[in-house]
Amino acid sequence: MKLHNRDVRTDVRELGALVGDVLAAQASTEAYETVETLRNEAIDYRRGDAATRAALHEAVDDLSTTREEVVARAFTTYFELINLAEERERVRAVRNADDGTALHDSFDATIAEFAEAGVDADELEELLADVLIEPTFTAHPTEARRSTVKSKLRSIANHLGELDERNLTDRERRAVWRDVTAEVTSLWGTRQVRQRAPEPEDEARNVQWYLENTLFDVVGDAYEEFEETISKEYDDVDCPKLFEFRSWAGSDRDGNPFVTPEVTDETLERQREVAVEKYRDRCKRLSAVLSQDGDRYADGDALAESLAADAERFPTVVEEARERYPDEPYRQKLRLMRERLDRVNDVRPGEYPDGDAFLDDLDVIAESLREDGQESVLESFVEPFRRQVDTFGLTLASLDLRDHRENHTEAVAEAVAAEGVDYAEMDEDERVDFLTEAILQEDPVVDVDEPGDVSETTERVLRRFASFAGWQDEYGQQAIDTYCISMTEEPSHVLEVLFLADQVGVVSLPDHCAVDVVPLLETESALNGAERILGTLFENEAYAAALKARDEVQEVMLGYSDSNKENGFLAANWDLYENQRRIARFCREEEITLRLFHGRGGSISRGGGPMNEALTALPNETVTGQVKFTEQGEAIAEKYANPRIAERELEQMLDAQIRARKEANEEPVENVPDRWVEAMEVMAPAARETYRDLLNSDGFVSYFEQATPISVVEDLNLGSRPASRSGERSVEDLRAIPWVFSWTQTRLILPGWYAIASGIDAYLDEVGEEEGMETLREMFDEWPFFRTTLDNASLALARTEPEIAAEYADLADDELRERFFPELVDEYERGRELVLSISGRDQLLRREWLEESLDRRNPYVDPLNLLQANLLGRTHRTDEEERTLRLTVNGIAAGMKNTG
C-alpha cells in the first residue's frame, strides 16, 4: 500500500519555489533575482562550475543595506522550511517501518533477537524492570527561533503532513497549498529575531509545550507499541514504567539570577494545572465510552468498595452522580474522579494528593473491566490513560533545582556566622565535621526565614530553601525532589545542600530525606577526584543516613560542556569514560546504586550525537538500567515537536538501554584490552596539551573575538541566562554554549575535533605507524566508545568548511590570523585524514541521508556566511545592519540545525 503522496525532493523543490514566489510578491522581482543570483553563484562553485567564489563575493559586496536584510530573510526562511521537509522525510521512514520496512535500532528487531538467543520471559521482565529513562529538558540553549515563528512552522508542518498522508481531491489539495502559501507569507512578514531576551517563564512554557502537546499523547501510543512488540515473542510479560520526564526550565539557577522562587512556583502550578486539565478531559472521554449498564455487567468488588468510599467522602456529589448515571457504575466513578481533580487546585478537601492516588482509581476501573471480560475496552481506552498518569503524575515533569556550589558555601558561611560559627575559615575536614553534626542534631542551627543582614546571594539561596519545603507540601515530593550542584569539587559542597535542606525540614534524618543531592562533576579535578568525594560522603554518618532514606541510590551528573571546553574533545571524552567506570566500580563496592545523569548538549562538542549510540557506548559498569540526560535547544524541537518522531525517539532510547543493560548483565566489567587503554592514555594527554596550548596562547582570546561573531551571539537574546559567568571576556569565563555557537557560525567547528589529530599522531609516533593504525582500526571496529567518539568527530569535521572559515579569519589582525588560522586548518586536515584512515571509509559521513542534507544546505548557507562576515568587518554598523547581522545568525543556525 502506498502510504505517501510526496517525497523529500518534491517538498524541497516546491517549498523553495514558494519562498521565491513570496519574496517576489512581498519584496520585489529585483530582490528575487538578487537572491537567485547568490544562490546560483554558490551552487556553481560547489559543483565546480566556477573556479573561485569571486562572483559570489562580488554579488554580496554589491548588496544595498536594504537588500542585505531581504537576502538574509530569504535564506533564513528557506532553511526553516527545508527543515520541515526533512522532518517529514523522517516521518515517512517511521511510517514505512510500521508497514514492514525495518528501521535501524528498532525495538522489534531487538525483541526478536532476544527470543532467538534464548532470553526467557523472566529475564526479559527483569531487564525491563531495571530500565528507567529520564529525559530532562533544559532551557539553555534556548532555540534561536522565536515561539511565534515556531508556531507558524508547526502549522506549515501539519499542512505538509496532510498533503503527504491524505488522499485529497484536486480542490482540497489546492486549498491546503493555499493555506501553506498564506502561512509562508505571514512568516515572511514576521520578525525573526527576538527584541528582548526570553524570561525564565517563557523558557518554562517552551519546554511545557512539548510535554503538553506532543509527549503527553505519544506516551500511551509508545507503550502500546512496546507491548505489542513484546507479545509477538513472549506471553505474559508485563511492560513496567520505562520513562519519566524532568525539567530544569523554571528551576535552574546556575548563573541565572532571574530564576526566583516565584518563577519556580509559577512553573509548578502551571504544570499541575495542565496535567489536571488533561486528566479531566480524558475522564470525560472515557465516560463516553464506559456506558455499560450495571445490570448487565457485574461491577467488581473493588469498584463497589471504591464507590462506597466516595459516598462517604462526597455524599452530595455521589447522589448527583447516581441520579445522572443510574446503573452506570463506571460513569459514576469517573464523575467522582473528575470531582477530585477539580479539587486539586481548590480550597475544598478531598483532592487527589498525588498522581499515584489518581492512578489507584484508574486501576480499580481497569480491574473491573478485566473481570468483566472487557479486555478490548481496557486496552484501547483505559491502558493508554494509565500510562499517561503513571508517566506524568500531577506534575507533568518533575523539576530539578540547580545552583553553583560557591553560592551555597557563601550562604552557609553567612547564615552560621550569625550564630557565632566561623565556617569561612574552616578547612575541608572541619567543614565536613561541622555540617555532619549540624544535620544530625535535632534542632535547627539557623533561622532561614530571618537570617539577618546577609548578602544578596545568601538571601537568594536561603529564600529558595525556605520555599523548597512549601513546594513539596503543595505539589508533592515528586514534583521537585532533586538538587544539582554545579562545579562540585569537595564533599562539603554536597553536605552544604543537605544541611540547608535539613534546616527547612525537607530532610529530617534518619527517617526522612525528600531530596536527591546530585554533585555535578565537570572539571578535570572533580572527575578525577570523584572517588574521594563520594567515598567521604558514603562514609559520612549524615549522608549515609540520607542515602538509606533514598533507597541507597546516588545520582551523579557528568558535565560534558565544560569538560570539553576545558580539555578538548578527545581528552574530555576519555576522562568522562574512565571516570564513569571508576565511579561505577566504586559505587558497586559500596553497595550503592548509581544513576548517571549525562549533561549532554545538542552539539557534538557538548556531548551531542545520536542518543541511542551514546547509550550503547557507555561503559558496561555504568549501565544500571536507570539513566538520565539533558535535552536542549533545537534538539528538543527536532526530537519532540512531531509525534511520530517523538515516538521513534522513545523507541530508540528504550532499544539502546535494554540492549546495553543486557550486555552489562552478561559482562558487568567491560573487557577493554590493555593495549586499547594504553593507546587512549597516550592520545588523550597529548590532545589535551595541544588544546590547552591553543587556548592559553597569547592573543588567542583576541583572535576568537575577531574571527567569530561572539559579540553578536552574546547580544542575541537567546536565553534568560547571561552569556558569561562574570562578564569578563576569557575562554575560562565564557559559557560553553556561546563558545560552541560562535565557532559553529563560522563553519570551523573546532570544539568538535580540535587536537584529535595531535593525540592520534602522538600515539603513532610512540608505537609506529603500522602497528598503531592496526590497533586503532581494531578499536574502531570492536569498541563502541571509540567508534562513537570518532563517528561524532567525523560529523563535526564533515560540517567544517575551512574556506568559509577563512572569510572570518580574514577579519582578525594579520599577525593573529597568520599565527592561528593555518594551525587550525592543519589540525583539521590531519584529523580528517586520520579519521578516514581509521574508519576505512571514503567519506566522513556514514549516513547517506545526512550527506544529502549537507549537500542540499551548503550552497544556501554560504551566502549567509559571506554576508555575515561582510557585516562583521564593518567598523560602524547602522541599526538596520545590526538587525540583518543578527538575522544571519538565526539563518546560519537554521541551516546548520544547531545553536550550540
Residue 133 sits at φ, ψ, to 5 deg, of: -110, 125
- C-alpha distance across the termini of the chain, in Å: 41
DSSP letter (8 states) at residue 347: S
Count of CB atoms within 10 A of residue 159's CB? 19
Torsion angles phi and psi, residue 630, rounded to 5: -85, 150
140 carries an active-site annotation:
yes
C-alpha cell at position 169: 481531491
Gyration radius (Cα) of the chain, Å: 29
User: Which residues partner with 507 through β-bridges?
Assistant: 513
Q: Is 373 exposed, middle or buried (0-12, 13-18, 19+ CB in 10 A)?
A: exposed
Q: 653 exposed, middle or buried (CB, 10 Å; 0-12, 13-18, 19+)?
A: buried
For residues 365 and 362, give the distance between their C-alpha atoms in angstroms, rounded to a whole number. 5
CA distances from 779 to 87, 580, 668, 754, 831 (A): 34, 19, 20, 20, 17
Q: Which three cell numbers stand for residue 850?
A: 545526512
Distance CA 776, CA 761 (A): 11
Of the candidates 527, 677, 522, the residue with the CA atom closest to the CA atom of residue 606? 522
What whole-number distance in Å separates Cα of residue 243 and Cα of residue 392? 9
Cell for 372? 468483566
- Phi first, then psi, for residue 154 (nearest 5°) are -65, -35
Residues 492, 431 contacting (CB under 8 angstroms)? yes
With the C-alpha atoms ordered 426, 430, 435, 441, is the resulting torsion angle positive or negative?
negative
Q: How far apart are CA 211 and CA 207, in angstroms?
A: 7
Determine phi and psi for 747, rounding to 5 degrees.
70, 15
863 with 877: CB under 8 angstroms?
A: no
- Beta carbons of 336 and 321 less than 8 angstroms apart: yes
Instruction: Show the cell assigned to 787.
Output: 567508534
Catalytic residue among 278, 565, 628, 639: 565
- Alpha helices, H only, 617-673: 633-640, 643-666
DSSP per-residue string spanning 367-429? HHHHHTT-HHHIIIIIHHHHHHHHHHTTTSSEEEEEEEHHHHHHHHHHHHHTTT--GGG--HH
Q: Do the strands 516-521 and 507-508 form a parallel or antiparallel pair, or are they unpaired?
A: unpaired
Instruction: Find, among 894, 335, 337, the residue nearest to 638 by Cα.
Output: 894
Dist. CA 101–CA 130, nearest whole Å: 30
SS3 annotation, 695-710 = HHCCCHHHHHHHHCCH
Show the CA angle centred on residue 775, arms to residues 771 and 780, nearest 5°.
150
Q: How many residues does the chain have?
A: 900
Residue with grid cell 530564576, as numbered in its chain: 259
Residues ≥6 apart with Cβ < 8 Å to 597: 136, 484, 518, 555, 556, 557, 558, 628, 629, 630
Which residues are registered as beta bridge partners of 485? 403, 519
Q: Which of 140, 598, 639, 897 is catalytic?
A: 140
Task: Using CA atoms of 695, 701, 702, 705 in order, give the dihedral in degrees to the nearest 10.
Answer: 120
Separation between Cα atoms, residue 485 and residue 810, nearest integer Å: 41
Cell of 277: 486539565
Is 565 among the residues known to form the active site? yes
- Residues with catalytic annotation? 140, 565
